[in-house]
Amino acid sequence: MKKQTRLLALLVCAGLLFVLFASSAYIAHEADHHCAGKHCEICENIARMEALLQSFALLGVVLVFMFALQAFIRVLRAEEGLCAYHAPTLVGWKVRLNN
């Protein structure tokens, strides 16, 4: 089940990357086309692709903000600042373990 989930996530990521690169390539290829006027299909497609790229950019900013907020909260909750929390042990308390 875990492998299937990872494979599905990998396929979704690959699909999103393909869509992003294909949109960018289409915009770059058709940037200097001969416009037919007010109802030019190529201009409409370029506008759609730019909107798609902008929505993915907004999604990326939101994800980065969420991960940064989560990391900031972890740092605030840590007892020793930036260090990870370590459970107290007998050695850490300097307890002599004599028989």
Is 11 contained in some domain? Answer: yes
Is 74 contained in some domain? Answer: no
| C-alpha dihedral sign at 53, 54, 58, 61 | positive
Is 60 contained in some domain? Answer: yes
25 is in which domain, residue-wise? 2-68
Average pLDDT over residues 71-97: 72
More confident residue, 93 or 78: 93
Q: What does pLDDT average to over the chain? A: 83
Distance in angstroms (rounded) separating the CA atoms of residues 15 and 21: 10
Instruction: Give the lowest-confidence range in 3-17, 33-47, 68-82.
Output: 68-82
Say how many domains are in the chain: 1
Distance in angstroms (rounded) separating the CA atoms of residues 39 and 94: 80
**b or e along 50-81 (b: 16 or more beta carbons within 10 Å of the residue's beta carbon)?**
eeeeeeeeeeeeeeeeeeeeeeeeeeeeeeee
Query: Does the pLDDT value for residue 87 go beyond 80?
Result: no
Query: Whole-model pTM?
Result: 0.56
Q: What is the pLDDT of residue 8?
A: 92
Average pLDDT over residues 64-77: 85
Q: How many helices (H) and strands (E) does the chain have?
A: 2, 0
